[in-house]
Every structure is written in structure tokens, then in C-alpha cells.
């Protein structure tokens, strides 16, 4: 049997390629030096088998998603990814699983030129905890608390296909196999929007990533900014599979409360519309204007005929029974 130390060495040790890193895996701590005039953005997540992913989930996709959800948090701050640590509990040492997991994880790390700089491995129920580090010029972070009355509300990419795939896998909705495979890419291999987040520095007022559902995540922005929002349901950028297979009601519900989208929801003043679209072009990321910030402290949702829709906020809560 491989020892813990062999395990770390074989699958997760990589030479640091980033000049910010002076010491990687193999000492008591990693050492990281943000650039002068920058501060460090830090986020941590924990993924638990049976809660965040199914037992037997594809290991390569799981490696990808574990890092993607953390990259998405950096994107929502406009921070540039630098490095990450990985703490993982494994029920046993399965070399095929480890090889696939680390390949998925490190392929996404390579796409973003970031290094795995430290970690911990132990025996236990399959649990993955990543802490990620990015840097950003001091004071330039996109905060949840900075939305202003009159701001447009934007969202990147499309919403709802991840939730559609989840519902199909749970047997709640029939979805034809080819379509399900396409929708499942959104669930299993989300694309974090880091280039867009960086391009929105000095343009957006506030940003958050859509992980628990648009309404719930937007609610955090509104609460912290002490403002409200109006959304146009028919302007929501629906996932292609969702749009082509489901009723309008299901489309609205999944786009607004679906979760697992890992798109950016952000606000910017109407004077910055061209700048937002330019940032979207630069980062090769579609964006859609879906509403605006107002002073009434709640979220109102209208259809194209101006009728108010009653869609309750139903954000994912990791302790609610589902």
C-alpha cells in the first residue's frame, strides 16, 4: 500500500511555475508573495460525497469541479488566480480514481496557470476542501456591498442547464440522453468566469457568483448593499437544453433558483453598458442585462407583459432537507 507521503508526492506534487510562489508542497507551510500594491483574495469550499456530488461521480469531472467552484469565487471578486491548497479525505487509496481526479484538477489549474502549493490527505468519507488564492490591486475587489440604485443587473453565460441535469439524474424530469449529456457539462464541468471578473474591475459596482441560485445569490448582494432589484424573467439567458425542452415556468424556476451555474451576476451603472459589453468581448464571455437595482428592499420579477411573477426565493441551503 502506498504511504500518505508517497500519495502526495505521486499525484499532487508539481513544481511551482508562478513567480509569486517561493515554496510549494513539502514543507510545513507554502510561501506566497502577492505582487506589490496587491492584496490577496482567499476563498475556501468543502465538497462532500452524497451532498455535492453523487457516490461514484466521475473522478476527472470531480477534480475539475472542485477547483472550478473556487476559481468562480475569485472571479466574483475580480481577482487573478495564483495558487491553491487541497485537503482531501479518501475512503481508500484507489490509484485509478486518484489519477483521474488529479488529472481533472490539474488540467483546470494549468488553464489558469496556477499551482497546487500545499495540502493534506487523510482517510475518511470522501471530502474535498480547496482553499484558493488570487491577487487584486488593493481596493479594486468587486464587493457584494457596492451595488447602487440605478445599476443594471447583468449575468454571464446561461442559467438553468445544471439544475436541469441534476433533476434528470434525480429522476424528477425525463431528458433525452444526448440533451442530458450536454446539460450535464454545466453541472459537472462548470466554466469559472475569471477573465470576465478581471475585465470588470473599474466597471462593475458589485458581483457574486451564482452557485446557490440566482435569486438567493442576488439576495446576498441586495442585503449587503441595502437595495432591491427588479428582474425581467423573459430576459434571463436560459440554458440551451432547458429552453428547448421545458415549459416557461420550469425555465424561469430553474434559471432563477437552479444553482450550480457558476456564472457571474454583477451590477454596473447604465453609463457603463458599452464598457461591460467590451469587457465581455475581451473575455470571450457572453453577458445579458436582466434587470436593475432599485431602492425597494426585495426582488420583483416581471414578464414581458409587465405582469409580476410569484417565484419564491428558494436558494440552496446545505442544511435544509432536500
172-211: which residues touch a second copy (CB under 8 A)?
207-209
Three cell numbers written together for 236: 434571463
Three cell numbers written together for 172: 424528477
Q: How far is the CB of 320 from a second copy (least distance, A)?
A: 7
Contacts of 131 (CB under 8 A, 6+ apart): 42, 43, 44, 70, 84, 85, 87
Residue number, 26 or 270, with CB nearest to a second copy: 26
Q: How far is the CB of 31 from a second copy (least distance, A)?
A: 5
Residue span 80-119 as binding mask against a second copy, x where in contact by CB under 8 A, dash where not: -----xxxxxx-xx-----------------------xxx
Residue span 119-158 as binding mask against a second copy, x where in contact by CB under 8 A, dash where not: xxxxxxx-x-x-x-xx-x-x--x-xxx-------------
Three cell numbers written together for 281: 468581448
74 contributes a contact to a second copy by CB under 8 A: yes
**DSSP type of residue 235:** G
**CB 228 within 8 Å of CB 296:** yes
Residue number, 176 or 317, with CB nearest to a second copy: 317
**CB 17 within 8 Å of CB 26:** no
Stretch that binds a second copy, among 34-42, 58-66, 188-196, 244-252 (CB under 8 A): 34-42
Interface residue with a second copy, options 14, 18, 48, 273 (CB under 8 A):
48
55 contributes a contact to a second copy by CB under 8 A: no
41 contributes a contact to a second copy by CB under 8 A: yes
Three cell numbers written together for 73: 469565487
Residue 22, phi then psi, degrees to nearest 5: -105, -15
Residue number, 82 or 175, with CB nearest to a second copy: 82
Residue number, 130 or 242, with CB nearest to a second copy: 130
Residue number, 189 or 220, with CB nearest to a second copy: 220
Cα separation of 258 and 41, whole Å? 27
Concatenated DSSP letters of 79-105: PEEEEEEEEEEESS--HHHHHHHHHHH
Residue number, 23 or 311, with CB nearest to a second copy: 23
Cα separation of 216 and 316, whole Å? 8
Amino acid at each position: 500500500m502506498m504511504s500518505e507521503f508517497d500519495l502526495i508526492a505521486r499525484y499532487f506534487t508539481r513544481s511551482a511555475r508562478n513567480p509569486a510562489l517561493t515554496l510549494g508542497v513539502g514543507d510545513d507551510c507554502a510561501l506566497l508573495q502577492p505582487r506589490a500594491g496587491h492584496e490577496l483574495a482567499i476563498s475556501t469550499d468543502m465538497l462532500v460525497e452524497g451532498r455535492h456530488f453523487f457516490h461514484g461521480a466521475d473522478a476527472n469531472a470531480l477534480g475539475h469541479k472542485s477547483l472550478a467552484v473556487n476559481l468562480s469565487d475569485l472571479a466574483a471578486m475580480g481577482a487573478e488566480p495564483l495558487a491553491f491548497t487541497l485537503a482531501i479525505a479518501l475512503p481508500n487509496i484507489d490509484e485509478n480514481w486518484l489519477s483521474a481526479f488529479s488529472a481533472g484538477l490539474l488540467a483546470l489549474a494549468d488553464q489558469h496557470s496556477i499551482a497546487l502549493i500545499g495540502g493534506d490527505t487523510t482517510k475518511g468519507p470522501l471530502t474535498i476542501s480547496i482553499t484558493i488564492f488570487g491577487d487584486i490591486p488593493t481596493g479594486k475587489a468587486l464587493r457584494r456591498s457596492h451595488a447602487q440604485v440605478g445599476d443594471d443587473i447583468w449575468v454571464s453565460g446561461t442559467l438553468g442547464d445544471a439544475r436541469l441535469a441534476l433533476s434528470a439524474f434525480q429522476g424528477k424530469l425525463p431528458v433525452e440522453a444526448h440533451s442530458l449529456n450536454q446539460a450535464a457539462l454545466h453541472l459537472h464541468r462548470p466554466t469559472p468566469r475569471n477573465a470576465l471578473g478581471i475585465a470588470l474591475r473599474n466597471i462593475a459596482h458589485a458581483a457574486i457568483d451564482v452557485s446557490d441560485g440566482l435569486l438567493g445569490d442576488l439576495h446576498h448582494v441586495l442585503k449587503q448593499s441595502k437595495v432591491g432589484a427588479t428582474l425581467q424573467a423573459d430576459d434571463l439567458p436560459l440554458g440551451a437544453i432547458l429552453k428547448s425542452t421545458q415549459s416557461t415556468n420550469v425555465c424561469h424556476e430553474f434559471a432563477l433558483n437552479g444553482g450550480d451555474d457558476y456564472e457571474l451576476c454583477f451590477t454596473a451603472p447604465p453609463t457603463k453598458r458599452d464598457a461591460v459589453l467590451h469587457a465581455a468581448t475581451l473575455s470571450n464571455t457572453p453577458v445579458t442585462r436582466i434587470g436593475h437595482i432599485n431602492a425597494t428592499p426585495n426582488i420583483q420579477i416581471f414578464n414581458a407583459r409587465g405582469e409580476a411573477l410569484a417565484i419564491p426565493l428558494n436558494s440552496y441551503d446545505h442544511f435544509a432537507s432536500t
